[in-house]
Structures are given as structure tokens and as C-alpha cells.
Amino acid sequence: MKLLTHMKPWMWWAVGGAIAVFAALLPLINLSIPGILPGPTYTPGTLQLLALALLFSSLALSYHLLFGVGGMLSFGHALYFALGAYGLGIVLKTTQLSLVPAMGLTVAAVICIAYLLGALSLRVTGISFAMVTLAFAQAGNVLVRRNPQITGGDEGLQLETQNVPDFLLGVLNTRNLYWVALALLIIVFIVVALFEHSRAGHVVTATRENELRVRVIGIRPFMVKLVTFSIASVLAALVGMVHLLLQSGVTARASSADFTLTILVIVVLGGVGSRWGAVVGAIVYTLLDQRLTALASSDAIAGLPAILRIPLSEPLFILGTLFILVVLFLPGGIAGAVQRMDKGGVRRNPAKETSSEIARDKIEEVT
């Protein structure tokens, strides 16, 4: 059949648009999925969970741009998510700015910080780059925890609601926050797609595959990688700001390396190098994380022998086991599995199967 193989780009965008329209209608309809969603889709609890899944999808897309497209393995991506959340929270708390100007000021600050830290981190590559980003993330986490008068410390920072519009506050307005999260996901997806298909995107992809070749033809990959790093960081900060509104606060875990590892797990689960894989991986992970927590505390688990009850009562153990199984039996994640199911796993444009070949063609146009 090879349905996916022969779908044209506009067909993919049409399918995506239809899914987006359906997602936008969920708060207005009574759709129940027992065992997956906690209630009908119009209820605040379900909308809260779905909005969180959409935000994690946007965050996974920002990391996809950094790791899947640029090949930059970062252990500090959560730092920029935290900068967005804490930055907006602090601005709203200490100034009289309304929400939109406060978000603009936060974005400007994140751009400067991302450019500076990115310029320092990109002086090295590979595992050294990962360690440098980890060091910056740990430093940020220490600053958050050791300055409770500013950040709230381990207790977290609560959202100052004085200058936040009323339609974004309260349980009854959860549907509005859901729509904001959906709009952000659409924007992030479009930005990432446009960047991937731009000349800069092709250059950074070629750099990931063979940096020496890029240097030989006279292109400086450092600046393109820095731009990629900065865009991914700003997108993560935007997600952090909306997450602050959704959760009415932020905790120190948002700046931890552990949170970055969660994002990495999501991207690997969905399929490294796939935009829609990052989105699906984030939704699956979020739903599993929430529902496995309920399962771990259920009577069914409590009635098991101790040798089974103790590990199964820990959601992270179950998630970790599932992740190992995905790595072992689903190389390429969910996206890779779907490609293989599409009649032998034939990929589109087999003559230009690797992204480096596509990138090389674009680079030759530039030069």
C-alpha cells in the first residue's frame, strides 16, 4: 500500500490541520476514553492533562530542533524552559507590566542569555558540549534553590495574578489555557518546520552529518549552530511561560538536568529526527506518566506480592521499563515503527534518503 510513502507534503499539512481543528473542538464535545483520560474532554481535569501534553509536545519539538536536526546533545535544555517560567513569574511579581509586555521582556532576556551561553557551549562538541550544558543547568538550578526570596526556592514560585487577564485564571477557564497551549504547539511546529526547510536548517543538518565537509566548502557552521541553539532555547522559554500560567506556578525541578532527561526520553520515544514523532511521543509520555501514577496507587497493585508490588508501585520504574523496551524493540521510536509498518518501511525519496544529501544540495546553491 505504502500510503505514507506516497503522501505529498500538502497532504501532510492537510492531515495536520484536520487534527488541529479536531483538537480545538475537544473542549466543546463530550468525548470519554476510559483508562486514558480521567473524564470527558470538556471537564477541567481532562483539559488540564491535555494542555500539559500539548506543552510537552512543544517542548519536545524545541529539543528536536536542537538534537534531532542540529545533532547537539544537550543536558541543559530545561534551563531555558525554567528561564521562561521563572523569568515571567519574577517580572509579573516585581513590576506592574501586563502579561504580554512581561512575556516580551522575558523573551528578550532569554535571547541574550541563550546567545551568550550557546556561544560558550558551542566552543566544544560532542560529549564535551553535553557536559558544558549540564554544568550551566546545574548552576541555574543552584541559583533557583539558593535564592528563595526571589525564586521561592524549593517551594517554587507562585504566579502573580494581578496583571494576568481574567480569562486565563481559574478552573473554569482551563479551556482557554488549553487553547493557548494548542496555539503554541501549532506555532512551534510551524517554526521548526520552516527552519528545517530553510537554508540554515539544511546547513545545520549537513553539519550534523559531516562538519568537515561543510567547513571545506567555505561555510562557518558555528554561527548556524548558534542560531539553532538560540531558536530552540527561545521556543523552550515560551513553553515555560505558558506552563507557568497553566500550573499557576513553577518549581525548582523545572531547571534540573533530570527534567532535560525527561525531554530526551520523550524525543527518543517518538523517534529522533521526526517532528510528528516528538509530538506523539510527548502525548504518549504525558498520558502514561499521569495514568501510571493512578495505577501505582490502585488496589490491583496493592494486592500483589511484595516482589511485584514494590517496583510496580513506582511509576518511574514502569516508565523506565517501557523506555528500555522501546529502545530494544522499536529502534527509531514510534515514528520508526510506523515507517516500517508502511509496507516494508520504505522511506520517502529513497534517492535522497539521508538528510545530509539534501543539505549538500542546498549548500551548493548557497555557495
Dihedrals phi, psi of 279, to nearest 5 degrees: -65, -50
Domain residue ranges in the chain: 25-257
Q: Is 179 left (phi over 0), alpha (psi -120 to 50) or beta?
A: alpha
pLDDT given at position 317: 76
Give the model confidence (pLDDT) of 290-304 as tens digits: 877 776 777 777 777
Q: Buried b vs exposed e over 171-184: b needs ≥16 C-beta within 10 Å? A: eeebbbbbbbbbeb
The contacts of residue 79 (CB under 8 Å, 6+ apart) are 117, 133, 136, 137, 140, 255, 260
Whether the predicted pLDDT of 343 surpasses 60: no
Whether the predicted pLDDT of 346 surpasses 50: no
Say which DSSP state 351 is in. Answer: G
Q: How far is CA 106 from CA 18, 84, 103, 287, 312, in A?
A: 33, 6, 5, 30, 41
What's the distance, CA 247 to chain centroid?
A: 17
Please indicate whether residue 344 or residue 243 has the higher confidence score (pLDDT): 243
The mean pLDDT of the chain is: 85
Cell of 269: 520515544
Give the model confidence (pLDDT) of 191-230 as tens digits: 999 999 998 889 998 888 888 888 888 788 899 999 999 9
pLDDT given at position 1: 46
Give the model confidence (pLDDT) of 116-171 as tens digits: 999 999 999 889 999 999 999 999 999 999 998 999 888 889 998 888 999 998 88
pLDDT given at position 355: 46
Whether the predicted pLDDT of 342 surpasses 70: no
The contacts of residue 116 (CB under 8 Å, 6+ apart) are none
Query: What pTM was estimated for this model as a whole?
Result: 0.87
Give the model confidence (pLDDT) of 263-288 as tens digits: 888 888 888 888 888 999 999 989 88
Is residue 14 very low, low, confident or very high in pLDDT (cuts 50, 70, 90)? confident
pLDDT given at position 280: 92
- 3-state SS, residue 193: helix
Whether the predicted pLDDT of 232 surpasses 90: yes
Is residue 353 very low, low, confident or very high in pLDDT (cuts 50, 70, 90)? very low
CB distance 92 to 160 below 8 Å? yes
> Which residue shows C-alpha cell 514560585?
157
Mean pLDDT calculated for residue range 94-107: 93
CB distance 78 to 139 below 8 Å? no
CA distance 115 to 278: 25
Give the ranges where the chain is alpha helix by DSSP (H). 9-25, 44-63, 78-94, 99-121, 126-146, 148-151, 174-196, 199-209, 211-216, 221-247, 257-270, 275-296, 299-302, 306-312, 315-329, 333-341, 355-366
Please indicate whether residue 349 or residue 107 has the higher confidence score (pLDDT): 107
Say which DSSP state 69 is in. Answer: I
Count of residues making up the chain:
367
pLDDT given at position 170: 85
pLDDT given at position 344: 61
CB distance 342 to 2 below 8 Å? yes
The contacts of residue 124 (CB under 8 Å, 6+ apart) are 132
Cell of 96: 506592574
pLDDT given at position 119: 95
CA distance 244 to 83: 11
Q: How far is CA 130 from CA 122, 162, 278, 305, in A?
A: 10, 39, 20, 41
CA distance 65 to 149: 35
Give the model confidence (pLDDT) of 233-246 as tens digits: 999 999 999 999 99
pLDDT given at position 367: 53
CB distance 182 to 23 below 8 Å? yes
pLDDT given at position 135: 93
Q: Buried b vs exposed e over 345-366: b needs ≥16 C-beta within 10 Å? A: eeeeeeeeeebbebbbebbeee
How far is the first Cα of the chain from the last one, in angstroms, to the nearest whole number?
Answer: 40
pLDDT given at position 185: 96
Which helix (H) or strand (E) covers residue 168, if one does? none
Whether the predicted pLDDT of 188 surpasses 60: yes
Mean pLDDT calculated for residue range 47-57: 94
